[in-house]
Amino acid sequence: MGKIAVFPGSFDPLTNGHLDIIKRASRIFDEVIVAMFINQSKKPLFTIEERVKLIEDVTKTFGNVSVDYSTGLLIDFVKKKNASVIVRGLRPGDFEYELQNATMNRKLDDSIESFFLMTNPEYSFLSSSIVKEAAKHHANIENFVPKPIAKALVEKFS
């Protein structure tokens, strides 16, 4: 059986930084599942259905990437999908938060490994929230997100 990795996140919306991690993970693992998790404390701009459709659209050429979502616990989702790896991207400042999550996940199930890919320096400043802030004020965001997502952001704020 091939190695299946889950890349969890909010992806509200997906940025070029996320896409770079997906692309690199898809070269390392046999299968990558991009999974949205419902975070009750964050009010999302895009619905789950909108985010799933947009990510499917921009990853359809990869061949081994699929998109899903869950309202449950990450570790349970990973096990349900027969995956053994959790992929996360690391930007400057992400380390402590990621270490806390990875440690908790290891305590919950130590057969599942957290795997970190360093941000591409070109995207190290990029986050969904900074892109949303720029789009809200009608700045040009085409260098920061894939085209269909730039279009969806312009529509949200028009």
Q: How far is the CB of 68 from ligand ADP (least distance, A)?
A: 14
Restricting to residues 109-148, which ones interact with ligand ADP according to CB under 6 A?
119, 123, 126-128
Nearest to 145 by CA among 27, 20, 25, 41: 20
> Which of the residues 24, 79, 81, 91 is marked catalytic?
91
18 catalytic? Reply is yes
13 belongs to the binding site for ligand ADP (CB under 6 A): no
Under the binding rule (CB under 6 A), the answer on residue 88 touching ligand ADP is yes
Selecting among 26, 70, 84, 128, the annotated active-site residue is: 128
Which spans of this chain sit near ligand ADP (rule: CB under 6 A)? Answer: 9-11, 15, 17-18, 21, 88-89, 91, 94, 119, 123, 126-128
